[in-house]
Amino acid sequence: IEVFFSEKVSPSVEWIIWPAYLFTVRVINFPLLLLGLFAFILIVKQKRFRATILPIAYCLLLIVPFLVRNIIIAGYPFYPAPDFDLIDVDWKPDPVLTERILEYIKYYNRVSTTYLEIEQTRALGANWVPLWFKYLFPFDKIMVIAGPAGIIISAIKNINQKINVSKAIVTGIMIVWLICWFFVAPDPRFVYGVLLFGILVLVYDLTSFIKHIGPIKFLPKIMIILVVAGLSYYLVSKLVKQEQYRNWVVPMKLLQPPVKEIVIDNIIFRIPEPINNNWNARCYGTKLPCLYTIDQRLKARGKTIQSGFHLEK
């Protein structure tokens, strides 16, 4: 937001560090790394070479452990995506199962299995978009309309007027971000930040336009009052309607599911049962190792789980 509204392009270390951090939070944030690339190029052009040393070091301290952790856990740097598979280790999940997970992620986020089975969504081909929009929550529908609209309107305005480089960089990244998200996993919760940014820009453009129509000097104050009132109502309703939000000092005790114990290579594996009306089993507070299914090829490397496991070929 700060970069978008600035008159001059003045790259700072945040341009480089924040994209790297958000990439490790969720890989779908990778288009934001373009902002770091722009900052690096601009700083180098200004011959401020020393200014890039610490930010790049910070980025490496964020991203390298993230990639190492992924490889230790699943054998892939971006599991379940098999891309950039440069290290051959014997604890990688079955490729067929990995493909199924990728397929599930892709089609589940197009139409939830609450409404259609994965096979039905896959059979829709390019006709999944109307159903995707139909089954969104009402507030998500508002966001996926208003957010991209604000970004696109801002981009058009920037082209028609004297081009502001800062706005061009930010809106360009946002557009690339939304396109990637839409084809990979179009669940609005994955890009709430982008959508909220688009809504902010849309409101800014609308208020700028309305100012030329008549005196609306009280509009900002009215909007602040409405936002505060809305947030207050939301907070109170959460406390009244949902008991789990009334734990002010001590958190609610985590309900642990009953488990089935299976011994493999003298190590006890625990398979939890579904609880809390969940559609699947989850390892809530379950002792390790906790699994959902047992693969007959799963073998322990040693006598304890510290030695790790591998899959027999």
Q: Give me the phi and psi of 291, to 5 degrees please.
A: -130, 160
- Over residues 179-204, mean pLDDT: 90
pLDDT tens string 14-36: 888 999 999 999 888 999 999 88
Residues recorded for the chain: 313
What is the widest separation between alpha-carbon atoms in the chain? 79
pLDDT at 278: 84
pLDDT over 60 (residue 237): yes
pLDDT at 211: 64
Query: For residue 302, what are the contacts with CB-CB under 8 A and spacing of at least 6?
Result: 308
Higher pLDDT, 198 or 308: 198
pLDDT at 210: 66
pLDDT at 214: 54
d(CA 118, CA 116) in angstroms, rounded, equals 6
Band of residue 266 on the pLDDT scale cut at 50, 70, 90: confident
pLDDT tens string 76-99: 999 888 888 888 888 888 888 889
Query: For residue 184, what are the contacts with CB-CB under 8 A and spacing of at least 6?
Result: 28, 106
Range with the poorest average pLDDT among 47-51, 108-112, 269-273: 47-51
d(CA 125, CA 110) in angstroms, rounded, equals 11
With contact defined as beta carbons under 8 Å apart, do 267 and 242 qualify? no
pLDDT over 90 (residue 134): yes
pLDDT at 212: 59
pLDDT over 80 (residue 6): no
pLDDT over 90 (residue 233): yes
Query: Where is 232: in which H helix or E strand?
Result: helix 219-241
Higher pLDDT, 161 or 304: 304
* Token pair for 256: 């642990």
- What does R_g of the chain's alpha carbons equal in angstroms? 24
d(CA 105, CA 111) in angstroms, rounded, equals 10
pLDDT over 90 (residue 271): yes
Average pLDDT over the chain, rounded to whole? 87
